[in-house]
Structure 1
Amino acid sequence: MSEKDMQSYFDKLNEANTLLGKSLKVGNVDALAETLTNISDNKVYVENDVPDKDTVAKLEAIYKDLKDLNLTPSQLKQAITVAIIKAQKDDKTEVNKLMTPDAIGLIASLIAYEVLNVQNKTSVNVVDPTVGTGNLLIEFIEQLNMTDKFKINAAALDNDDTLVALAKSFSEVMNLNLDAYHQDSIAEWDITDIDMAVADLPVGYYPVDENALKFKTKADKGHSYAHHLLIEQTMKNLNDGGIGIFIVPSQIFQTDQAKKLSEWMVSSVYLQAVLDLPATLFASKEAQKAIVVLQKHGGNAKQVGNVLMGTIPDTNNPKLFEGFKDQLQDWAKNFKG
């Protein structure tokens, strides 16, 4: 399967998206969610004669062409992620909702793999409480699926209904089983029995102060940081000994609300790793993020001897990246049951 076929897939997907968007009079991301649902269901969804018969015929022809291209899962995923990037750019999507790059999903999956491998887990229930476009969670699952070691059940939450629809339809085209819920993740969750969480957390203040009251990480005055509340809420909902892999601002422990976060961590979780992501993934120093790995108290959980710290090397530098993988393996031995 060639690059050319992947390019053809992207071009046709884009063509279908433009047609559907005009017909439904919706934005590009909305249209993409609907397009992917149609592709996965192998039919054009029509409501109140929209899209019209002419558009339906055109769309069906494009979907057939897409099916005939027969891409591998990784090529299919690449074509869809490029389509998401384009749709978000055209819609001028706000920064907090932009797609998480594949490299971050890959790194998160490596951390998860080493820990799960040492724990001899075969079945894993994973949640992404701020799923956004779905790219982080889908890349994470795809990478773990490649190892053929785990059966993964996945759930996703997000308070943006367009993004929930996109994540769900993206997972369906990729043939992944994902339960997606449209909700505020700082409110109560209906899902239980979760072993692991992975999340690229939106950064900023949480507007609903009364919802924040029951959290230990809430601010003493004014609005609380949404990313702090999300970390606390997620870890609370994990099984005992559950692991949270969070993508956070690099400065998370240096802000005015960092003290509340640290106090909560000491009482409820073990901080097992703090790793700065490669600088090449970010447009500026201010935008730089890190991965924080937390483990809920209970079960066989204990504090690792040495918290894994440092900067993750660029994934395009194989020699340094292999060295990082060796460090990860040594660190993961701490998670033996």
Structure 2
Amino acid sequence: MSEKDMQSYFDKLNEANSLLKKSLRVSNIEALAETLTNISDGKVYVENDVPDKDTVAKLEVIYKGLKDFNLTPLQLKQAITVSIIKSEKDDKTEVNKLMTPDAIGLIASLIAYEILNVQDKKSVNVVDPTVGSGNLLVEFIEQLNMTDKFKINAAALDNDDALVSLTKSFSEVMNLNIDAYHQDSVAEWDITDIDMAIADLPVGYYPVDENAAKFKTKADKGHSYAHHLLIEQTMNNLNDGGIGIFIVPSQIFQTDQAKKLSEWMVSSVYLQAVLDLPTTLFASKEAQKAIVVLQKHGGKAEQVGNVLMGTIPDTNNPKAFEGFKDQLQDWAKNFKG
């Protein structure tokens, strides 16, 4: 499909979003979630005569036109992610809820692939406890699916019901089976039997001190860091030997609460990798993030010989990035699970 056709598809998707936003009186993100649900189910949902018959007729014409494009899964995902970015911009979405770029999902999937390959896993239960728009999880699954090596069963949690709806509808359009739940991920989880977690963690203070009280990573005084609590809660909910791949601030081990996080890590998990993400992905040094790979104690898990550390090269630098993939393979050879 040509770039012009891709633009036409996006324009039609945007037209449907605008109609639904006006008719339902919702945010752009909520309108996009509704659009994707309609596309997936092949019909326009109407509740209490909203949207009205005129709007329904216009939407049906648009959805019929979208079907005629015959996009590949990759092209479809590109169109949806551009729509998410536009919706976030129009809604003035807060930084913690912005979509995770595809490049980070690709890198996370490469790390997961090498670990799972060494462990010879065929079926993997994955969770994203802070799923947001769903792009990190969808990209992660799509990349692993392309290898034809694993059966991925995925779950998603988030405390924003609009984003949970978007994740669910996004995954349905992509023909992925993701169970999405609206909940505070620091609170108790109902899902069990989880092998792996990936998360682009929101950064900041967790406001409910009572919920934080049971965690070893809680602050001694005042509010605790939400990303610390989420790491602990997620690792607690994994199977023995389970893997957590977390996108965190690069300075995570240099803050006023870093000591509590480090003490918990020593007692409960193996720190297997700390990798700064490519600097080109971030607008400033302050915004720089890293990938931390943790493994829960238990099973056959053990500390790898050398913690993988360094800066991941830009994905647009093929030679350097291939070198990084070679490093990943050598590191993952020591993984047990």
The two structures have a TM-score, normalised by structure 2, of: 0.99
Residue by residue over 1:244-299, the C-alpha shift from the partner in whole angstroms, topping out at 9 and shown as x without a partner, is: 00000000000000000000000000000000000000011000000000000001
Provide the C-alpha distance between the structure 2 equivalents of 1:179 and 1:194, rounded to a whole number of angstroms: 13
**What is the deviation of 1:188?**
0.2
Q: Secondary structure at the match of 1:335?
A: coil
**What is the deviation of 1:8?**
1.4
Q: Does residue 1:25 correspond to 2:25, yes or no? A: yes
Q: Secondary structure at the match of 1:313?
A: coil
Q: Does residue 1:255 correspond to 2:260, yes or no? A: no
Provide the C-alpha distance between the structure 1 equivalents of 2:336 and 2:252, rounded to a whole number of angstroms: 29
Q: Secondary structure at the match of 1:69?
A: coil
The two structures have a TM-score, normalised by structure 1, of: 0.99
Residue by residue over 1:5-31, the C-alpha shift from the partner in whole angstroms, topping out at 9 and shown as x without a partner, is: 221111100000001100011110110
Q: Does residue 1:322 correspond to 2:322, yes or no? A: yes
Residue by residue over 1:25-73, the C-alpha shift from the partner in whole angstroms, topping out at 9 and shown as x without a partner, is: 1110110011100110110000111111010000001001111111000
Provide the C-alpha distance between the structure 1 equivalents of 2:174 and 2:140, rounded to a whole number of angstroms: 13
Greater displacement, 254-263 / 22-31: 22-31
Count of residue correspondences: 337
Provide the C-alpha distance between the structure 2 equivalents of 1:311 and 1:145, rounded to a whole number of angstroms: 26
Provide the C-alpha distance between the structure 2 equivalents of 1:171 and 1:139, rounded to a whole number of angstroms: 10
Match of 1:61 in 2: 61
Structure 1 outlier segments of 4+, above 2 Å: 1-5
Residue by residue over 1:171-200, the C-alpha shift from the partner in whole angstroms, topping out at 9 and shown as x without a partner, is: 000000000000000000000000000000
Q: Secondary structure at the match of 1:192?
A: coil
Runs (5+) with no aligned partner, structure 1:
none
Residue by residue over 1:210-245, the C-alpha shift from the partner in whole angstroms, topping out at 9 and shown as x without a partner, is: 000000000000000000000000000000000000
Contact 2:301–2:336 (CA under 8 A) maintained in structure 1: no
Identity of aligned residues (%): 91
**What is the deviation of 1:336?**
4.3
Q: Does residue 1:181 correspond to 2:181, yes or no? A: yes
**What is the deviation of 1:320?**
0.1
Provide the C-alpha distance between the structure 2 equivalents of 1:4 and 1:328, rounded to a whole number of angstroms: 38
**What is the deviation of 1:2?**
2.2
**What is the deviation of 1:98?**
0.2
Runs (5+) with no aligned partner, structure 2:
none
Match of 1:112 in 2: 112
Provide the C-alpha distance between the structure 2 equivalents of 1:60 and 1:142, rounded to a whole number of angstroms: 29
**What is the deviation of 1:4?**
2.2
Provide the C-alpha distance between the structure 2 equivalents of 1:95 and 1:141, rounded to a whole number of angstroms: 24
Contact 2:250–2:288 (CA under 8 A) maintained in structure 1: yes
Provide the C-alpha distance between the structure 1 equivalents of 2:250 and 2:25, rounded to a whole number of angstroms: 39
Contact 2:302–2:336 (CA under 8 A) maintained in structure 1: no
- Aligned-residue CA RMSD in angstroms? 0.6
Q: Secondary structure at the match of 1:287?
A: coil
